[in-house]
Structures are given as structure tokens and as C-alpha cells.
Structure 1
């Protein structure tokens, strides 16, 4: 029986058989034990229908690919109960839909906040200056001597600095390589944050962060104030030197 069994082996299994020390096997029972011990980790584990509840959609997997994988797992379960399979699939679909709904809520909230910031910036811009017909357009944002993310780093602990609520949403749906210190969340860089740019304009109008403004921009702001007869700032712009 031992000799006949060896003839049924192929490839790596046959190579394994020939590595057995000469005279080490005295009976077929002993051979069966040694062979089972060697290859027990290669056996196929039988799955029950409850296994489908563990088949979850991956963060980087499309819904179409998930459905294909779910069907493949179901096909590998012998005598799979249709009701259990349906329940497992529905539960994952509902969970995925809820994650997308939260992401949608985050996008809508961010859009509303952006629209409100645009409206406030537009109204503040009208108060600063009313360009004459045919006159060149005034630059949208004040020119600073350093990048605006460095300005935020220097004034981050100031009591007058008010930060918005962190952006909510599913982290797997956002670009985690881009971090915004103003929102304290992922999705965009601080230098590209329109909310921080607009808020920084408000801070400048209130007399804050003036030490970071270039001389040319300071003079432009003074000229606009004089033209519009605006009251003096809470704090003087720039240096007091002539």
C-alpha cells in the first residue's frame, strides 16, 4: 500500500516522499500520519452561509467588484441558504449606502459654508471699494510677504482667531495627502483653503496680521479706504515709520 500510494503523488508531493529517510516508515498507518501532518495546512476549509456576513466592501473597491466577489464567495458555499445570503448582502448594501449618505451630507454642508463665505467676501469687497466703469479690476486677495499657511502657524494661538468646525465625512473618501490646518482635516492644503483666505481678509480689515502685508498692498488698502471714506482701522497697517 505504501508503494502504490507513492505512485499517486505528483510534483512537490512526490519530491517530499523521496526526502523521507530510508527505513523511516514501517506501516501504511504511519505513512498516512506523516503525510497528513505535512499537508494538513493545504486542506480546503468548508464555509457555512454565515461566512457571507463577513464579506464586506473594501474602501478601494467599487460596488460592481464587491458584488462579483460576493457572488463568488456564495458559489463556494455548498448548499448556501438563499435567505441568509440575501440578508448578508442587504446588510452590507445598507451600510455602504449610509456611508455615502454621510459623505453627501458633508459635501452639502461644505458647499453651503463656501457659499456663505463667498457672499460675506462679496459684501465686504463692496464696502472696501466700488470700481469705476472701465477701471482695472482690483486683486481679489491681499498680497502677503509669506505664504498664508505660515501666517496661520504664527497666529494659531491668538485669542482673536476663530476656527471653523472640522470638516466631517468619511476619511476614506478624502485625499489624506492634503491637510488643512485651518479646518484641521484632510481634503485640501491650507494654502488652497478659500475659507482661510476669506477669513484672513476679514482679519486684515480688523487690523490683525498686518505685519505680514507687503508695503504695496498696505498702500493700496489705504487708498481704497480714503476713496470710500471708511473710518480708520482698529490697528495701523504695517510699520509706523515714514
Structure 2
């Protein structure tokens, strides 16, 4: 990292590649364009992982997540990802199942997720993101 001390963008990208598991999940919950330089990412990361440590949660904690009828899919996804990021070693099939079970029963995405039972987590999130964008466009 010291070789790239003068290139903030590159240092941030390299930093992101050094993260694993829970830290990698946490990194992907950061809002886009919320970090402007390496000093900020260092500070945010230090706050999250040095003196602020939450009690470790288990996979079954995700099943307590429910999509509120007045909540957009986008907001539910965001809340879900934040909660998921705090669970170390969570099995992807449990993530998908917990998310699906938290959705409103009559939500169109719920039916589509049931049909795509063997989706990878990446494909699962891509499908959810497409529905979220579609829902946002429909509202505006």
C-alpha cells in the first residue's frame, strides 16, 4: 500500500480487495460515493472493527427480518444486507430463504424467487436489484 500512497482511488480499490467474509459484506453495504478518499475509508473501517463490535449474530437471526407493507423493496433490501453483513459465515441458501420468507406474500418477486430455487447469491441479488429498480421506476 505504501507504494500507492499518493493515489487515493487506487488505495481504496486495493483496500477493498484485502477484505474477506464479514468485512467484505460490510464494505458492500456502504452507500455509493460515500467515501471520498483513503483516510475516510480507514476511519470508517476502524470505527466498525476496532472499538465498535456488535455481538455476533447467527444465520437464523435473518429470519426475523420482515418487509413492512409500507416499505419499498429497495429499503427492505438495504436493511437486509446490513443485517446479513453482521453474520459471519452465513450459508447463501439460508440468506436467500430468509429474504424470501421476509417478503410480503403477494409481492411479485416472492413468486419469482420460489421458481428460481437454485440461484447463486450473486444471481439472487441481481434478480432482487432488477425488481427493486423496476419498482422504483413504477413509483415515479
Specify the TM-score bucket, using the shorter chain as the normaliser: 0.3 to 0.5
- When the two structures are superposed, what TM-score results if normalisation uses the length of structure 1? 0.21
- When the two structures are superposed, what TM-score results if normalisation uses the length of structure 2? 0.36
Q: Which has the higher contact order (CA 8 A, sep 6+)?
A: 2
**Higher alpha-carbon Rg:** 1
